[in-house]
């Protein structure tokens, strides 16, 4: 069965428009080339002195700017699900390159044949099944170091990846194990798979996050993709997956032994998780990645709100500035629960408290906590320094992860129950009505974010 990309390229209307435009562009370039050859004094003679110059400087530019880019973008790229398995530039340049036949070598150019060759090239060479180099997605706890080392010593040296400098001779991650595990995530024929454990370089290595010594979990992207598309998807997931796993790690955080609020790891390090945690939090990972690659809609919807929140949290995790990261995390909460204008702080505090705190006796305390967090966010944006800024940044990130998880769980539950997709206005009305009603506001389990205001 033909790939979806090939099916779109083979649609009659699209093919006819592309072939007609290519023919006109070729005739235009030939005319300029002949004119320059006959009259070297014309203004543009220097830029079309050779056929290659005539085609690439005139035909290609005219084709790309005026028609082909728009035709392929609307007819192919906009109809494909994200992540894209081919880039618009690859389609453009691949086709235009085939069309640049020297008029001195051929009296007639059959653009229908050229288009068929172009589709064949995309199908048989561009969309080969490819797998990216592995990249680290989380740091394993230091307690796992011994077991990981023992595992690798037993397996022996199986070779190493050129972009890693393994510590103390430990091999880099191998090909995915045939352990029967499903992919961590799959969408539009693109899969994210767990590769294994390895020891990356102690500097930034291949990760956008700082790397500390010790074993890390690795994943890889694979699917029928062009090389450029694979590189683009890998670069995105190298940032997005650790951000989602950071949310998962926050949601597993426990109260400190002395009863104080949770202590958080450095915000610019890879999150600390275990392979079991990654598997258990699979629904959260899949929902967030799906949301990240969902196109924004014009109408307000929970899917749109979740998408915006995921993007904001990815940006928050990438920030070196604690103040900016704090602001983005609070903005993510607003994206999920915001309602209109006026008294935003009060509305947000009430909605978060109802959503996350089932104990009516502690709900006022939860509201006070959110108000204080919102105030801290405003002060940092205006340039003021607040006490314990890195810790407040982490707490805001923890709270955002909890709100996000609750709404994802709620949406999945309602869809499984046959209730369809909930409108934001209906959710917010329910939260408002439940303000003085004890108990969980939705079907999601209680969250550990209650520790932030001293909940049980």
pLDDT in tens, 113-153: 999 999 999 999 899 999 999 999 998 876 665 555 555 44
Mean pLDDT of 164-172: 42
pTM for this model (two decimals): 0.85
The verdict on 184 and 326 lying in the same domain is no
Under a CB-based contact definition with an 8 Å cutoff, are residues 187 and 290 in contact?
Answer: yes
Under a CB-based contact definition with an 8 Å cutoff, are residues 148 and 167 in contact?
Answer: no
Within 293-420, residue ranges assigned H as helices are: 302-318, 322-337, 344-356, 360-381, 389-416
The verdict on 22 and 105 lying in the same domain is yes
Under a CB-based contact definition with an 8 Å cutoff, are residues 222 and 85 in contact?
Answer: no
The verdict on 442 and 298 lying in the same domain is yes
DSSP structure class, residue 282: H
The verdict on 44 and 161 lying in the same domain is no
Domain boundary residue, one of 100, 127, 154: 127
Domain boundary residue, one of 70, 98, 127: 127
Secondary structure of residue 194 in the 3-state scheme: strand
Q: Which two tokens stand for residue 118?
A: 């172009």
Res. 22: pLDDT tops 80: yes
Is residue 8 domain-resident? Answer: yes
Secondary structure of residue 198 in the 3-state scheme: strand
Res. 154: pLDDT tops 50: no
- Distance, CA of 216 to CA of 134 (rounded, Å): 11
Across 134-148, 292-306, 377-391, least confident range: 134-148
Is residue 89 domain-resident? Answer: yes
- What pLDDT is stored for residue 302 in this prediction? 93
The verdict on 232 and 373 lying in the same domain is no
Q: How many CB atoms lie within 10 A of CB 164?
A: 21
Under a CB-based contact definition with an 8 Å cutoff, are residues 192 and 183 in contact?
Answer: yes
The verdict on 35 and 59 lying in the same domain is yes
The residue among 267 and 393 whose pLDDT is bigger is 393
Under a CB-based contact definition with an 8 Å cutoff, are residues 314 and 247 in contact?
Answer: no
Is residue 270 domain-resident? Answer: no
Burial class (CB in 10 A: 0-12, 13-18, 19+), 139: buried
Within 134-180, residue ranges assigned H as helices are: 145-155
- Distance, CA of 196 to CA of 212 (rounded, Å): 18
Under a CB-based contact definition with an 8 Å cutoff, are residues 255 and 248 in contact?
Answer: no
Q: Which two tokens stand for residue 334?
A: 């607003």
Q: What is the pLDDT of residues 254-270, one digit of tens each?
A: 876 656 666 777 777 88
Within 47-202, residue ranges assigned H as helices are: 51-54, 60-63, 69-75, 88-99, 111-121, 145-155
Residue 257 CA, chain-centre distance (Å), reads 36
Where residue 197 falls among pLDDT bands split at 50, 70, 90? confident
Listed residue (405, 417, 410) closest to 450, CA to CA: 405
Where residue 26 falls among pLDDT bands split at 50, 70, 90? confident
Q: At what angle do helices 88-99 and 111-121 cross, to 10 degrees?
A: 140
The verdict on 233 and 329 lying in the same domain is no
**Torsions phi, psi of 198, nearest 5?**
-160, 175
The verdict on 435 and 314 lying in the same domain is yes
Is residue 278 domain-resident? Answer: no
Is residue 287 domain-resident? Answer: no
The verdict on 122 and 137 lying in the same domain is no
Is residue 275 domain-resident? Answer: no
Under a CB-based contact definition with an 8 Å cutoff, are residues 36 and 44 in contact?
Answer: yes
Listed residue (338, 316, 339, 318) closest to 329, CA to CA: 316
Which position has the token pair 């830029």?
A: 47
- The radius of gyration of the chain's CA atoms, rounded to the nearest angstrom, is 27
**Could you list the residue range(s) of the whole structural domain that residue 436 is in?**
294-453
The verdict on 70 and 156 lying in the same domain is no
Is residue 273 domain-resident? Answer: no
- Distance, CA of 135 to CA of 164 (rounded, Å): 10
The verdict on 95 and 135 lying in the same domain is no
The verdict on 362 and 441 lying in the same domain is yes
- Distance, CA of 377 to CA of 371 (rounded, Å): 10
Domain boundary residue, one of 250, 267, 284: 250
Number of domains in the chain: 3
Residue 223 CA, chain-centre distance (Å), reads 16
DSSP structure class, residue 122: I
**Torsions phi, psi of 106, nearest 5?**
-150, 130
Is residue 284 domain-resident? Answer: no
């Amino acid at each position: 069965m033909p790939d979806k990309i090939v099916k779109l390229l083979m649609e009659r209307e699209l093919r006819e428009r592309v072939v007609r435009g290519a023919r006109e562009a070729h005739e235009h370039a030939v005319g300029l080339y002949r004119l320059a050859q006959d009259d070297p004094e014309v203004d543009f003679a220097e830029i079309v002195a050779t056929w290659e110059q005539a085609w690439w400087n005139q035909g290609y530019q005219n084709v790309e700017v005026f028609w082909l880019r728009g035709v392929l973008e609307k007819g192919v790229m906009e109809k494909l699900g994200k992540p894209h398995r081919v880039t618009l530039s690859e389609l453009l340049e691949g086709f235009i390159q085939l069309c640049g036949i020297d008029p001195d070598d051929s009296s007639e150019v059959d653009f229908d044949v050229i288009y068929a060759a172009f589709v064949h090239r995309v199908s048989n060479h561009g969309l080969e099944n490819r797998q990216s180099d592995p990249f680290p997605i989380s740091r394993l706890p230091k307690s796992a170091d011994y077991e990981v080392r023992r595992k690798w010593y037993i397996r022996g040296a199986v070779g190493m990846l050129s972009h890693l400098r393994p510590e103390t001779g430990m091999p880099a991650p191998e090909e995915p194990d045939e352990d029967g595990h499903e992919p961590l995530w799959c969408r539009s024929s693109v899969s994210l798979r767990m590769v294994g454990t390895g020891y990356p370089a102690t500097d930034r290595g291949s990760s956008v996050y700082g790397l500390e010594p010790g074993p890390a979990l690795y994943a890889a992207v694979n699917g029928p993709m062009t090389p450029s598309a694979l590189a683009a998807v890998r670069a995105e997931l190298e940032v997005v997956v650790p951000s989602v796993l950071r949310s998962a790690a926050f949601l597993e955080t426990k109260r400190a032994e002395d009863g104080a609020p949770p202590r958080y790891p450095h915000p610019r390090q890879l999150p600390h998780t275990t392979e079991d945690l990654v598997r258990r939090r699979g629904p959260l990972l899949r929902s967030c990645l799906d949301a990240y690659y969902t196109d924004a809609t014009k109408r307000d919807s929970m899917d749109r709100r979740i998408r915006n929140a995921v993007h904001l949290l990815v940006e928050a995790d990438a920030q070196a500035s604690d103040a900016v990261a704090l602001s983005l995390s609070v903005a993510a909460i607003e994206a999920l629960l915001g309602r209109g204008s006026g008294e935003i702080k009060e509305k947000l505090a009430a909605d978060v408290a109802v959503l996350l705190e089932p104990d009516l006796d502690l709900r006022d305390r939860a509201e006070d906590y959110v108000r204080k967090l919102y105030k801290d966010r405003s002060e940092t944006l205006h340039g003021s320094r607040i006490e314990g800024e890195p810790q407040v940044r982490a707490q805001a990130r923890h709270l955002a992860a909890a709100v996000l998880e609750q709404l994802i769980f709620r949406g999945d539950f309602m869809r499984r129950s046959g209730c369809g997709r909930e409108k934001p206005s209906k959710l917010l009305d329910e939260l408002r009505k439940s303000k003085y009603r004890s108990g969980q506001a939705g079907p999601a389990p209680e969250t550990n974010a209650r520790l932030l205001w001293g909940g049980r």
